[in-house]
Amino acid sequence: MNAKWTHSIRPSDYDIFGGLDVDKTSIAVTFVNPEGFIKSMRIPYNCENLVSYCARHFPGKRIAFAYEAGPTGYGLYDQLTTLGYRCLIASASMIPTAPGQRVKTNRLDSKKIAEALRGGQIRSIHIPTDSYRKLRHLTGLRDTFVRQAAANKCRIKALLLFEGIPFPEAPPNSQWSRAVINQLRALVLEDCVRFKLDSLLANLEFAEGKVLETTKEIRRFCRQDPELCHQIAYLMSIPGIGWIVASHLLARIGDWRQIENVRQLGAFLGLVPTEHSTGDATNRGSITRMGAGRLRNKLIQSAWTAVRRDPELHDFYQRVYQKHPLDRAARKAIVAVARKLTTRIFAVLHEQRPYDIRYTSPLATKEQKCPRGRLDASQKLEALIGL
């Protein structure tokens, strides 16, 4: 897929620019041309109505459309592009808005989008292909059940704390093991408290079962798609990135061919610093936190594993750590490692090959010097392709 076709337009190539504000029942549309405003109107949410209007009033004209990413998804985009029209989907935060504008309506939003499109200021988000959209549905569903399970665990602990009942003792890594759950079920409590605890335990068991079921479905879906299977194998060859993070990365990134450069991926994941510089003064702040927060959190967790397995990242972590005060050194260093992981993600996807560790630090641990049996790149791919 052509990256320029996907992400932006050249205004001189089009005669009419249509800004769309889409909700579940209607479309507010504003048409402008290079000379100025043409018309604003509201039509039912139906692509046929929009296309028939354009055919009647702008015959032979080159038309480009744009609308804001939202709950209506990609349906309108798919229909317009199938009919040969150019369409962009823009992130709401990246649509230019006048600082003094205090009135917001669907008509004004559509006019704002149309004028920005005419000025070449609209840049489209990545539009995932069908297989990546389905994978996104599955990974999003898994995250939903993971959040439900975590919420139920917090509610159970809050209930026990409120009633003055100590939580059953267990090692840190097995705090919610089957033995602990059985102890919770065996607690002698008042009827109403017992009913609430049993209900929370049932919800927890349901959510964890759904997490397992959804994970199996993600694996089954990826095995049926050779491209997804290979891309996940390439990502899993990077130290620190496992099955869950690899599948979630692919679901959010979409087709790797749409990534134009290595910097774009870090910005997409919100791992680049904010900056407010003027003159000779350079002021950088915290990371932008753009994009999917849960995916960014997963990547940071992967960075902790990567530091233990990859000597190059271990040395990089230590260098960054030593440059900052102790109260925030670890946080700064691990975010920097996560940002560095994005360059490796881009490399394995762009070059279509597994990652191979070649750097050896004199201070590297045994695990870092010989991670996973020290397979070469071809052996790694063969081992991982079965998922």
pLDDT in tens, 242-283: 999 999 999 998 888 888 888 888 888 888 888 888 777 778
Q: Provide the residue type at 299 as one letter.
A: L
- Asked if the model's pLDDT at residue 348 lies above 60, the reply is yes
Residue-level pLDDT at 281? 79
Residue-level pLDDT at 285? 81
Residue-level pLDDT at 277? 81
Is 8 or 166 the better-scoring residue by pLDDT?
166
Residue-level pLDDT at 7? 77
The CATH architecture one would assign to domain 3-118 is 2-Layer Sandwich (3.30)
3-state SS assignment for residue 65? strand
- Asked if the model's pLDDT at residue 378 lies above 80, the reply is no
Q: Tokens 């459309």 — which residue?
A: 65
Residue-level pLDDT at 5? 43
CB of 40 closer than 8 Å to CB of 29: yes
Looking at every residue in the chain, the average pLDDT score rounds to 88
Q: Which residues of 98-129 are buried (b: 16+ CB within 10 A; e: fewer)?
A: eeeeeeeebeebbbbbbbbbbeeebbbbbbbe
Residue-level pLDDT at 150? 96
Query: Do the bridges between strand 86-90 and strand 63-68 make them parallel or antiparallel, or are there none, so unpaired?
Result: parallel
The Cα–Cα gap between 204 and 145 comes to 9
- Asked if the model's pLDDT at residue 382 lies above 70, the reply is no
Residue-level pLDDT at 377? 47
The residues of the chain that CATH labels 3.30.420.10 are 3-118
Residue-level pLDDT at 384? 52
> Which CB contacts under 8 angstroms, 24+ apart, belong to 2-6?
3/257, 3/258, 3/260, 5/86, 6/124, 6/126, 6/127, 6/258
Q: Residue 208 forms beta bridges with which residues? A: none
Residue-level pLDDT at 4? 39
Q: What is the mean predicted confidence (pLDDT) over 118-124?
A: 92
Residue-level pLDDT at 292? 83
What tens digit of pLDDT does each residue of 215-249 get?
999 999 999 999 999 999 999 999 999 999 999 99
Q: For the chain, what percent of residues have pLDDT higher than 70?
A: 91
Q: What is the mean predicted confidence (pLDDT) over 335-339?
A: 94
